[in-house]
Structure 1
Amino acid sequence: MPTHKEQMKKYWKRNIRTVLILLSVWFVVSFGFGILLAEPLNAIKIGGYKLGFWFAQQGSIFTFVILIFVYVYRMNKLDEEFDVNEK
């Protein structure tokens, strides 16, 4: 049976892994799509706006908000898995 300290190390390792994955997604969307790939994406239009412009102006913000909800969901699942209770 793993000790409490070992369980908490696993918990924080998984937490940090989740954070790094979500930050990577946000980086790809905001920097990759909004800056590096803006020109190729500008060939596509959505609602009359170029897609590269949309990602630079709004896409990264929408993605960040969605990632917040994904993080909350993942952390709730992780808390259940490791039986972490709020007190």
Structure 2
Amino acid sequence: MEDQKKYWKENLKYLGILLTIWFLVSFVFGILLVEELNTIRLGGFKLGFWFAQQGSIYVFVLLIFVYIRLMNKLDKKYNLDT
């Protein structure tokens, strides 16, 4: 029972961190800071535009793979892998 609580506590910690990163990239960089980021260019495009149109999607997909890796490690740590 104690292992289940530790498992879920770590899982929620990972989710909180990854969702915070996703929020920062998609909402803060893509909406709130778009004007400031547009002063920087990335590959010929304004950085704020890039985050709003493509960057947040790339980061979201990357976060999915990071979450999969973290959960596989967590499952092995608590002997829940099958």
TM normalised by structure 1 equals: 0.90
- Structure 1 position 85, deviation (Å): 2.6
- Structure 1 position 38, deviation (Å): 0.6
1:31 matched to 2:35? The reply is: no
Task: Provide the rounded CA distance (Å) in 2 between the counterparts of 1:56 and 1:6.
Answer: 42
1:79 matched to 2:75? The reply is: yes
**Alignment gaps of 5+ in structure 1:** none
Number of aligned positions between the proteins: 82
Q: Is the 8 A contact 2:72 2:81 kept in 1?
A: no
TM normalised by structure 2 equals: 0.95
1:54 matched to 2:50? The reply is: yes
Structure possessing the higher radius of gyration over alpha carbons: 1
Q: Is the 8 A contact 2:40 2:46 kept in 1?
A: yes
Instruction: Give the alignment partner of residue 38 of structure 2, picking from 8, 17, 42.
Output: 42
Task: Provide the rounded CA distance (Å) in 2 between the counterparts of 1:56 and 1:15.
Answer: 28
- Structure 1 position 62, deviation (Å): 0.4
Task: Provide the rounded CA distance (Å) in 2 between the counterparts of 1:52 and 1:13.
Answer: 35
1:85 partner SS: coil
Instruction: Report the RMSD for the aligned CA atoms in angstroms.
Output: 0.8
Q: Which runs of 4+ in 1 moved over 2 A?
A: none
2:30 partner SS: helix
Task: Provide the rounded CA distance (Å) in 2 between the counterparts of 1:18 and 1:46.
Answer: 30
